[in-house]
Amino acid sequence: MAEDTEKLNLREIARKKRHIHLVEKLQKGQTLSKKEIDELGEYENEVKKTGKPWIVDTQKEVAEAIGVTTRRVRYMKRSGMPVEEDGRYNVVLIERWRHREQYDQSGWDDKQKELKYKMSEVKYKQLTGELVNLAQVEAEWISIAIAFKTALLALPSYIAPKLAMMQPREIAEILREHLTDILKQLSGQEDDHAG
């Protein structure tokens, strides 16, 4: 009979140690597995039956129990953290809720990682010159078009006196030379013809 009582006491001591271990794990801010949360819930239900539930009165106590700041607890409360009817907090239910919330947001984290990767890829392409700014390209093309238009509009008044009394073949050759010079200037090449 004494042996059975001793085994019962050892079993009870082991259960209490396990309960304390899980509570300490919560207080250190470590995440509990679903099995550990359920196990802690069973211990808490047993404690409730004895009149000592793991329910805390303040957000500060919640923060200390689960290892976060009181500011984080206030945020969690606004986000739907469970609160008892009497306004107190059940740490076990809160930890279960946190566990569920963490897994619900994992899809969001994947999308955020993908966007960060795409942004870093864009920055890399910009740095290597594979990708250029659209506004810069448009501005460059506009300046090329304006320079081309200006050079072409200036051509008649510049070349007309040189072409007076020339043969059509000579006029065509001189026009070709001057148009080629204009195009080379726009493309950044040196002027081969003086004249």
pLDDT tens, 103-162?
A: 666 556 677 777 888 888 888 777 777 888 888 889 888 888 888 888 888 888 878 888
pLDDT exceeds cutoff 90 at 71: yes
pLDDT exceeds cutoff 80 at 1: no
In the chain, % of residues over pLDDT 70: 82
Token output for 153 = 């509009």
- What integer is the mean pLDDT of 52-75? 84
Are the C-beta atoms of 105 and 67 separated by less than 8 Å? no
In residues, how long is the chain?
195
- What integer is the mean pLDDT of 20-38? 81
Position 70 scores a pLDDT of 92
Looking at every residue in the chain, the average pLDDT score rounds to 79
Work out the angle at residue 44's Cα, subtended by the Cα atoms of residues 43 and 50, and round it to the nearest 5 degrees.
95
- What integer is the mean pLDDT of 42-46? 69
Are the C-beta atoms of 43 and 19 separated by less than 8 Å? yes
- What integer is the mean pLDDT of 87-106? 79
Are the C-beta atoms of 22 and 32 separated by less than 8 Å? yes
pLDDT exceeds cutoff 70 at 69: yes
Q: What sign does the CA torsion over 90, 91, 94, 96 have?
A: negative
pTM of the model: 0.33
Phi, psi (degrees; rounded to nearest 5) at 132: -120, 160
pLDDT tens figures, 164-195? 888 889 888 988 998 888 888 877 765 544 44
Position 38 scores a pLDDT of 79
pLDDT exceeds cutoff 70 at 5: no
Nearest to 62 by CA among 33, 34, 93: 93
